[in-house]
Amino acid sequence: MLDKSKAADIFDKIKNYSTADEVEALFYGGRSALTRFANNTIHQNVAEENYGVSVRTVFGGRTARASTNKLDDESLRRVVQASESLAKVQHPDPELLPMPASGGQKVSFPIRYFDETAAVTPEQRAEAVHKIVSIAQRHKLTTAGIFATAESIEAIFNSRSLSDWHTQTSSEISITMLAADSSGWQKANSPNVAHLDAVTLGEVAARKALESAAPREIPAGKYTVILEPAAVLDIVGFMFFDFGGLAILDQRSFLNNRVGAKIFGDNINITDDVGHPLQSGAPFDGEGIRRQRVHLVEDGIVKQLVYARATAEKMKRSEYKEKVGRIEPTGHGFPLPNEMGEAPMNIVFGVTKDPRTVEQMIASTERGVLVTRLWYIREVEPYEKILTGMTRDGTFLVEGGKVRHGVRNFRFNESLLHMLSNVQEMGTPVRASGEESFDMVVPPMKIREFNFTEVTKF
Amino acid sequence: MSMRHIADWALNVANLRGASYADARIVDDRSRGLATKNGKVSHASDGESLGMGVRVIADGAWGYAASDDLSRAAVEDTAAHAVAIAKASARVKQSDVRLAPEKAVTAQWTTPYQIDPFMISVEQNIDLLLKVDSELRSVAGVTMAETNMNFHREEQWFVSSEGANIRQTKYSTGAGYAAHAFAGTEIQKRSYPTSYGGQWQNKGYELIQELKLVENARRIGEEAVALHQADQCPEGAFTIILEGAQLGLQIHESIGHPIELDRVLGMEANFAGTSFLTIDKLCKLRYGSDLVNVVADARQEHGPGLGTFGFDDEGVPAQCTPIITKGLFTGYLSSRETAHTIGAERSGGTLRAEGWNRLPIIRMTNISLLPGDKPLTLEQLIASTDHGIFMQTNRSWSIDDKRYNFQFGTEIGWEIKNGKRTRMLKNCSYSGITTEFWNSLDAICSRDEWTLWGTPNCGKGQPQQVMGTGHGAAPSRFRGVKVGSAFRGN
């Protein structure tokens, strides 16, 4: 494991090898392992250890980056030279800021490293998979999925004496249960492996597979839908790159001309908060600036954007400066140089006044569709934020307040503006994980007039 | 110390710890990425990565371990770790892993290239990108211009306990750009040579010279702006003509993925999904019309696709497998482990890994729709179409997890009336069911219109791996396709 002391020694060497005005080093890597199963068998089982450093140099407004996972002296010298060679041939950028001397105040932060997660063995992962397979076999199903664990480091040093270090562990279980003509799915992750319950996840996935068997086709159209948390995060995740200041300046955001406007329902409140107890990740951004808590949406109104340092400076001089709310570096920048600027990546939905469980949402629904998971979501139209995708692994008809039967999967084409203006009920936000977007703290949602446009064959 | 010696350390330890099979891949990877946005360099980076992955079978099950440390102690630890993982895997197995036989060879293979892209000065490349950027932004109404250029070199040593010893060096190059136009309540975009990173091939810098980047920039900028005045694509059943790059992605999603035998066998069920192409359909399913001939061809003679190589990542030589023959489904993408499930005596040679730290899995090679036999240009195809829509350049793509129902959007379209390209259309989309769509094909342009397109960003596997794939295609015509439902109800 690369530790802070060794990384600091390597950065000293990098500084010595560099002739640049300024130099920055990002360290990354760790140990990870993933046990993968399918057809009730462990069919892939991998482990990896890898550490690297990415060096950014600056010569009079010109900057570039080079990276290597070779940490011997000769390789470090070469990566510094590569970064400098790339930087020197750039055109000077008058908007490039000096590297920060400080990332801001370091406040208390949740512990995200757990020894028991780092210590999980292949045998322990196999034992958990054995329990999942046993559930599948008991229900005459086959199962596929993963059990993964990792420990990782993320660090930044620069020649103005900024340094910051983050280490964390992660664990994840994802399970698909397959029957002849149906399937069910569950997934959970946590920095602390003790918070994962393979048996409960397996039982829920199995129940969904069994209850959605022999799916019937119902016509496409607008339905009330109940989206479980993983389905919510996978679809809403497509809008958060538009909450960066540079997206507005580039005129590529659906929030152009909409900051300060009410674009979602009163019940939509969204914060970016890396310090939230259910969140994960490092407390600093790609330049080493400490991540702030930012209220992105309050009562359906877009209140604030997130900013890298340079974007905030640029925004203050722009035609939008009076229209975008508070402008300040918020610690959401990507490593420089980059095209995207910044984005909020630690999304937390607000708690509604009257949270409902999924079961309560079902009970209050006369006719609707319960959705476990969404799949292959892509943006169809960027300004109305129309997204397409499919339902998957457990889609049910709800009638008369009860789940009636499984239905064939739908294709949706739905505007996020429309969807988040039509949320009738919400649950308590939970840490959720999908496949199309980054992890978030999101509630299940009951939404009216969700737009299904086609039905597939299963 | 040679890479062969380092690999042998791993194989020896794997053997001593009880592995019945082992292979070691050492990969030395180098990349360069350059990008501009609105007249400035937005990205300039070099990257390198070196490490080794050891794959073993012990107690009849797989184990894989990888490390960036090539010291003897670390290599031996990695090999021992791989065996320990395999033995843990064996606790949850239904049967022992079987590998189809493959002759072990000693060989070297390198991507044929004319100009080493890493020898071209960065200044020259940035100047070219900024010139394109300037052309794009010279068009009034273009609100954002983006360009990119990427080079990749991968050197790999593959050594197996069966005696294989293969050194392979692959180069790939990619470049492209996009003009965005925001006005009113719409963001429109045009890209060249295609979207999401442009064109990629296993070539050297000569690809950049062939792409005519500057020459097309102004037209692309003008089209992005003109889309704001274009009519909305209508909804209904239409004849459509797809240009080659969009058709390449259609092949990728609705032929390339369903024919992956690991998906068919349920090995990807938790993430990428399964496939409607169950084994009982082999040599029985009418996949497309009689004109549809598709191959999976990794050989150099097929062309410089991102799926071209000398050997796959378990030492199997590049091959050509007929996938669809005159419309009949005739073949899968297979590996040494999966070949026996379709009665094949040998792997189809499609196992590839993203790098040293990833386990090789079945990946598309070059999945190509062969061109039509009879001479037919795009203009002749349009001229022979009474009424239809010509769609160009992908904007969105989505398909279900069995690969039946798909929906694609394109950046631009034109209505065809009485054999002539007429009004421009915006927000074009089409959707359908895979086999119904391919059976509706009634014309394919000939070889002169055929291009081997690169898809550099195909995601699959857990942990996820990104791989480049190739797709040869010529503009083709499809009848009675559902158009425009992406915007229904919105």
- Summarize pLDDT for B71-126 with one digit per residue, the tens: 999 999 999 999 999 999 999 999 999 999 999 999 999 999 999 999 999 999 99
ipTM for the whole predicted complex goes beyond 0.95: yes
Rounded to 5°, the CA angle B197-B200-B206 comes to 120
Question: How large is the average pLDDT for residues B462-489?
Answer: 97
**Measured between CB atoms, which of B51, B84, B489 is closest to A222?**
B489
A376 touches chain B (CB under 8 A): yes
The mean of the pLDDT values for chain A is 97
Q: What is the pLDDT of residue B250?
A: 98
Q: What is the pLDDT of residue B108?
A: 98
Question: In chain A, positions 132-171, which contact chain B (CB-CB < 8 Å)?
Answer: 133, 142, 144-146, 148
- List, for residues B168-197, the tens digit of each pLDDT value: 999 999 999 999 999 999 999 999 999 999
The mean of the pLDDT values for chain B is 98
Cβ atoms of residues B35 and B126 within 8 Å: no
A178 touches chain B (CB under 8 A): yes
Nearest to B341 by CA among B279, B282, B402: B279
Q: What is the pLDDT of residue B154?
A: 98
Q: Please enumerate in sequence order all residues whose Cβ is within 8 A of that of B282, keeping only pairs 6 or more positions apart, or say none.
A: B329, B330, B331, B332, B342
Query: Tokens 């070297």, residue?
Result: B108
Question: In chain A, positions 293-332, which contact chain B (CB-CB < 8 Å)?
Answer: none
Q: What percent of chain B has pLDDT over 90?
A: 99
- List, for residues B272-319, the tens digit of each pLDDT value: 999 999 999 999 999 999 999 999 999 999 999 999 999 999 999 999
Chain B nearest C-alpha distance from A346 (Å): 21
Kindly state which CATH superfamily the domain B3-229 is placed in.
PmbA/TldD superfamily (3.30.2290.10)
Q: Where in chain A is the domain with CATH 3.30.2290.10?
A: 4-205
Q: Please enumerate in sequence order all residues whose Cβ is within 8 A of that of A72, keeping only pairs 6 or more positions apart, or say none.
A: none
The span from the CA of A120 to the CA of A149, in Å, is: 7
**Measured between CB atoms, which of B63, B143, B490 is closest to A415?**
B490
| Domain layout of chain B by residue ranges | 3-229, 231-487
SS3 A42: strand
Tell me the chain A residues in contact with residue B397 when contact means C-beta distances shorter than 8 Å: 378
Cβ atoms of residues B284 and B464 within 8 Å: no
Q: Please enumerate in sequence order all residues whose Cβ is within 8 A of that of B250, keeping only pairs 6 or more positions apart, or say none.
A: B242, B406, B408, B437
CA B343 vs. chain centroid, Å, equals 27
Kindly state which CATH superfamily the domain A4-205 is placed in.
PmbA/TldD superfamily (3.30.2290.10)
Q: What is the pLDDT of residue B364?
A: 98
Strands (E), A82-182: 142-158, 163-178
Q: What is the pLDDT of residue A262?
A: 98
The span from the CA of A134 to the CA of B137, in Å, is: 61
Pick from B17, B45, B336 the residue to mutate for testing the A interface (most A CBs within 10 Å): B45
- List, for residues B244-263, the tens digit of each pLDDT value: 999 999 999 999 999 999 99
Q: Please enumerate in sequence order all residues whose Cβ is within 8 A of that of A166, keeping only pairs 6 or more positions apart, or say none.
A: A112, A153, A154, A155, A281, A282, A283, A284
Q: Please enumerate in sequence order all residues whose Cβ is within 8 A of that of B23, keeping only pairs 6 or more positions apart, or say none.
A: B11, B54, B55, B158, B159, B160, B161, B164, B314, B315
Q: What is the pLDDT of residue B489?
A: 86
Other C-beta atoms closer than 10 Å to the C-beta of A127 total: 15
Q: Inter-chain contact A411–B463, Cβ cutoff 8 Å?
A: no
The DSSP symbol for A71 reads -
Per-residue pLDDT at B490 exceeds 90: no
Q: Inter-chain contact B187–A383, Cβ cutoff 8 Å?
A: yes
Write out chain A's pLDDT in tens, 458 residues: 799 999 999 999 999 999 999 999 999 999 999 999 999 999 999 999 999 999 999 999 999 999 999 999 999 999 999 999 999 999 999 999 999 999 999 988 999 999 999 999 999 999 999 999 999 999 999 999 999 999 999 999 999 999 999 999 999 999 999 999 999 999 999 999 999 999 999 999 999 999 999 999 999 999 999 999 999 999 999 999 999 999 999 999 999 999 999 999 999 999 999 999 999 999 999 999 999 999 999 999 999 999 999 999 999 999 999 999 999 999 999 999 999 999 999 999 999 999 999 999 999 999 999 999 999 999 999 999 999 999 999 999 999 999 999 999 999 999 999 999 999 999 999 999 999 999 999 999 999 999 999 999 99
Q: What is the pLDDT of residue A1?
A: 79
The DSSP symbol for B354 reads S
Q: Which residue of A has its CA nearest to B36?
A: A339
Q: Identify the band that residue B1 occupies on the pLDDT scale cut at 50, 70 and 90.
A: confident
Q: Identify the band that residue B370 occupies on the pLDDT scale cut at 50, 70 and 90.
A: very high
Pick from A63, A77, A84, A388 the residue to mutate for testing the B interface (most B CBs within 10 Å): A388
